[in-house]
Amino acid sequence: MSEPYRVLIIGAGLAGLTAADALTVGAGAGPPIEVTIVDKAKGPGGRLATRRIGGATLDHGAQFFTVRSDDFRARVDRWLADGVVEEWCRGFEQTDGYPRYRAAGGMNHLGKHLAAELADRVTLVARQRAEAIIAGPDRWAVTYEAATRDVDEADAIIATPPIPQTVELLRAGAALPGGELGERLTGTAYHKVLAILATVDPAPGLPSPGALQRPDHPIFTFVADNQAKGISDEAAVTFHLAHALSAELWDAADDEVLARVDDELRTVLGPAAVTEIQVKRWRYAGPAIPSPEHSLQIAARPGPLLLAGDAFAGAKVEGAFLSGLDAGRAVHRLAGERAAG
């Protein structure tokens, strides 16, 4: 049997997990492919993030997703059949007939489900923060902070972190492309988002389906009652601050953030009293200008190096899925081409 083609995927969010699935589903076709996923977090999911506060469950990253492409529709239909996701609503405050989906039990359950499906096909390594991507004579090498893991060598790499984080890995390994491509990568900007998580009593009585989506609001662009959403046993509300306000308050202490939004928070909650409150920060909540490409190959030697994630394919949850799918299929094809000749 020929030596396996080794692929290292950095990041166990939706894009990384989908890329791994695309590389290993139907493993009998083409060359043997050995896939390792490394992630700095303790578990999979990335921005499919859910937090527990006491007996409450709160989504604090991605809140829901929609479906527009045939590839994503086919996968979502499988998740619906398996009971992994459910339809939440068809609009906020006003119905537009277009389904919005939630993950049953919280968005991180979707990440855990995908990781469980991959368990016998890939190696998933948690709590390992990549430090540098280095081009060797024959293979790529990835090192880790504080040498907590031996160097990984790979024939191909799919990097799915936010592009500024990947740029730092490339720069640390002297592998950052020059010219227009390098300028494009280093110039990629992301929105910051502050999230406030609050348990409340009683439930706040937000309009059906228990959420407000207000993209032009200067303070809270999205508010969701996680109990009304169907993922929490207790009343608990997630607030996403507007991009401009999040950027302004990014370095402020939590108490200052809460003081700044207190009036609007009380207006939204009405008579409901806050029992516990936390501030969470998403430094790379989403790209300022999403790339229309589904993934981006930035190097061919010593093997393919591709970028994927929610900066591509129109961004959002579906974009992350489509990007990972495209990157996984591309590397699978390139592995076959190398084996053939």
Q: Tens digits of per-residue pLDDT, 138-188? A: 999 999 998 889 999 999 999 999 999 999 999 999 999 999 999 999 999
Other beta carbons within 10 Å of 103: 26
Task: Give the pLDDT score at 240.
Answer: 98
Is the domain of 231 the same as that of 281?
Answer: yes
Q: What whole-number distance in Å separates Cα of residue 131 and Cα of residue 243? A: 29
Whether residue 155 contacts residue 275, with contact meaning beta carbons closer than 8 Å, is answered with no
Is the domain of 110 the same as that of 226?
Answer: no
Q: What is the CATH number of the domain that holds 280?
A: 3.90.660.10
Residues 73-93 have pLDDT tens digits of 999 999 999 999 999 999 998
Peptide bond into 287 cis (omega under 30): no
Answer yes or no: is pLDDT of 62 > 60.
yes
Residue 317 placed within a domain: yes
* Structural domains of the chain, count: 2
Q: Give the residue numbers spanning the domain of 238.
A: 190-287
Is the domain of 22 the same as that of 126?
Answer: yes
Lowest mean pLDDT, pick from 2-11, 18-27, 131-140, 181-190: 18-27
Instruction: Band the pLDDT of 301: cuts 50, 70, 90.
Output: very high
Q: What is the mean pLDDT of residues 266-273?
A: 97
Q: What whole-number distance in Å separates Cα of residue 151 and Cα of residue 36? A: 13
CB burial readout 162-189, b (16+ within 10 A) else e: bbbbbbbbbeebebbbeeeeeeebeebe
Is the domain of 201 the same as that of 128?
Answer: no
Instruction: Band the pLDDT of 229: cuts 50, 70, 90.
Output: very high
Instruction: Give me the chain's average pLDDT, please.
Output: 96
Residue 93 placed within a domain: no
Q: What whole-number distance in Å separates Cα of residue 218 and Cα of residue 65? A: 23
Q: Among 287, 304, 326, where does a domain finish?
A: 287
Is the domain of 255 the same as that of 211?
Answer: yes
Is the domain of 253 the same as that of 166?
Answer: no
Q: What whole-number distance in Å separates Cα of residue 6 and Cα of residue 20? A: 12
Is the domain of 149 the same as that of 205?
Answer: no
Residue 270 has φ and ψ, to the nearest 5°, of 65, -135
Is the domain of 233 the same as that of 258?
Answer: yes
Is the domain of 124 the same as that of 255?
Answer: no
Is the domain of 31 the same as that of 140?
Answer: yes
Is the domain of 322 the same as that of 272?
Answer: no
Residue 89 placed within a domain: no
Task: Give the pLDDT score at 21.
Answer: 98
Is the domain of 174 the same as that of 241?
Answer: no
Answer yes or no: is pLDDT of 26 > 70.
no
Determine the distance from the C-alpha atom of residue 11 to the mean position of all C-alpha atoms in its chain, rounded to a whole number.
Answer: 9
Task: Give the pLDDT score at 147.
Answer: 86
